[in-house]
Each structure stands twice: as C-alpha cells, then as structure tokens.
Amino acid sequence: MIRAGQPGPVTDRVAIEEPMEVRVNGAPFAVIMRTPGADRDLAAGFLLAEDVIRSRDEIGTIEYCADADDEGRDNTINVTVLGDAVARLEVRLGDRRQVMMTASCGLCGRRTIESLQARVSAVAGHWRVAAATIAGLPDRLRTAQAVFASTGGLHAAGLFSLEGELLLSAEDVGRHNAVDKIAGRTLLAGQHPLDHRLLLVSGRTSFELVQKALLAGVPLVAAVSAPSSLAIDLADQAGITLCGFVRGDTFNIYSHPQRIGRIGSGPVGTIGTDRLCDP
C-alpha cells in the first residue's frame, strides 16, 4: 500500500469470485462468475431470466452435484425442471451461444433482444409511493451491505416495501447476479409477481436488469447511477417506473412517473434524454 507517498505492507480484504456451473436436468447450461452464497436462489433467478422456468411449479429440485470433482463440488449445481419447462429447456439449449457468463454479463447466452421480449407483458402496480421513500432507499440498503463495507468490491440489490422497508438484499460481484438472487429467492417462496415491491440496484441500470425486474413483476426500479437508453425504452414499454441517480434527496424519473408522489406543489414528470454513443 502507498500512503503519503510511502510504501508499506497491509492486509486487504477482497470479495470472492468463483465460477458456478449451472446444469439443467443434468445438461450443462451456463457457467456464472459469482460470489458464493445463495447459489440456489441465483440458479432459480437466472433460469427465470433465461425463460427456462416461469413459475415455482416448474422446479423440481435444486441440488449441488455429487459427481463433480472436489474443486467443483460446491460450484456445480443441477436444477431439475418439470412440465412445459422441459420443452423450453430443449429450445434454449439449441439456440444458446456456448459462452461463459462473466460477473458483468446479463443475458449473454441469448441471441436477440426480440427473443427476450417475446413473452413479456406490462407490469401491474396501481399505487403511489412518496418521493422521500425513493430517496431514502440507498441508505437503507447500505446498512445491509456487510461484505461491501469490508471489501468495497460488491454490487448490491434490495427489495423494499412501498413504505421503504428493506425486505430482502443480496450482494455479488455481478450486478445481474444480485438481482437474480432476489428474483430466485422470491420465486422459490411463491411470492411472484412482486407487484407491491420496489427494487433498488447499487450501480447503473441496463436493459437486462429491467428485464429481470419485469419477469419478477416489479413495477418500480431505482438505481444510484444512470440507466442505459435501452433500459429506459424497455421500462417505458413495460409500464415500469425507472428512477436513476438516487443520491441524497434528488433523483431522476425516466418512465411512468405516476407512481411517484408529488414533491411540494409541483407535478412529477419524466426527465428528457439525449442519446449519445462513443464517437
């Protein structure tokens, strides 16, 4: 470590990143780079996002593979799917690109955005939440980020009630993984659709994160950083309220502002955007 220009030894804590192989009905499906923990939730949420499963009833078992070698025994998990999910699995295995899922990867194995939107419909959620509640979400999530506090190296996602109570949180080296862990846990608990819940993510909002929220039925997604243009487009089409730059007592609303309560006497509206690319 260098401090005040002087080098010296120091012990630093770092977040763990390891590969997890996901098998479905015994067939290799994907390798996800993740932070170990809540692996069953992660596998369920990932397969929901990949449109292999659509409900808890289509999941038989989620178990670590006993036939994996010693190094991979805690990093190889098999999901048994049932019913219509079996046919969808065959389709997904046929059209997936054979790639390794990195911690920064969302739906890397799918070929087109159109294929992801094929079965998506608009979310429900005919309610309003106070602007102050949205502004207070990052501080509440931060109190649950124990590993981030000691390493500074993890993303987080939090699921909140309409009153701003933190109900569930997850940390991971991958933003997408953190959301999948929440989506998977609530799916396995039979709580979908999450139409009376708020989702906060600790980084930027990409198309994939909005897609995952949509499949879980979450009507409002907020982030401490910026959304992408495609995230805004999908949120607008899907009826999702998308908030960004939630910092201090300010934030931007990019779609469906009707769910945010008025601030003072002024109306709540969406913010305009200019679309930029790398010159």
DSSP per residue, 147-213: HHHHHS--EEEEEE-TT--EEEEEEESSHHHHHHHHHHHHHHTT----TT-EEEESS-B-HHHHHHH
Give every strand in the sheet of 76-81, ordered side by side: 27-34, 18-24, 76-81, 59-64
Alpha carbon distance, N-terminus to C-terminus of the chain: 37
If you compute the radius of gyration of the chain from its CA atoms, what whole number of angstroms results? Answer: 19
Q: Which residues are catalytic?
A: 105
Q: Which amino acid is at 75?
A: N
Strand partners, 221: 199, 242
Q: What is the DSSP letter of 225?
A: S
Strand partners, 166: 160
Q: Kindly list the distances between the CA atom of residue 32 and the CA atoms of 50, 81, 86, 92, 273, in Å, as whole numbers in the listed order.
A: 13, 19, 21, 16, 33
Nearest residue to 156 via CA among 143, 172, 132: 172
Q: Which residues contact 97 (CB under 8 A, 6 or more apart)?
A: 108, 109, 111
DSSP per residue, 241-279: EEEEEEETTEEEEEE-GGGBPPBTTBPP-PPP-------
